């Protein structure tokens, strides 16, 4: 169900919205609704699971090992 919404927006943004609306052949309401849908979907994509949150930032306190050092160690272990 659609409802009416009143917004207070800077005049230059209103002019831009009307101009863009005419060029894209979409109503300003449709443009704003699509923007909010994309914003909501992006927010949902950013929700992290408990497992991800438990390891998030785990390496911030320690430097990651150098790739070359890791390769050297791996190579030396595989030779032995």
Closest CA to 2 of 25, 36, 43: 36
The DSSP code sequence of 2-39 is ---------HHHHHHHHHHHHHHT--HHHHHHHHHHHH
pLDDT, residue 77, reads: 80
> Is residue 6 domain-resident?
no
> Looking at residue 65, what is its pLDDT?
75
Work out the pLDDT band at 73, boundaries 50, 70, 90. Answer: confident
Query: What CA–CA distance (Å, rounded) separates 54 from 36?
Result: 30
In total, how many domains does the chain have? 1
Neighbours of 1 (CB within 10 A): 2
Q: Which domain holds residue 30?
A: 11-79
CA–CA dist 37, 44 (Å, integer): 11
What pLDDT does residue 20 have? Answer: 96
Q: pLDDT confidence of 22, banded at 50, 70, 90?
A: very high
- Asked whether residue 64 is assigned to any structural domain, the reply reads yes
Say what the pLDDT of residue 45 is.
67
On whether residue 66 sits in a domain, the answer given is yes
- pLDDT for 30-59, tens place per residue? 999 999 999 888 876 677 777 877 777 766
């Amino acid at each position: 169900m659609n409802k009416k919404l009143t917004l207070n927006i800077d005049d230059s943004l209103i002019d831009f919205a009307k101009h863009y609306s005419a060029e894209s052949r979409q109503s300003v309401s449709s443009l704003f609704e699509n923007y909010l849908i994309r914003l909501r979907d992006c927010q949902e994509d950013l929700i992290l699971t408990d497992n991800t949150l438990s390891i998030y930032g785990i390496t911030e306190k320690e430097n990651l090992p150098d790739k070359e050092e890791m390769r050297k160690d791996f190579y030396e272990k595989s030779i032995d």
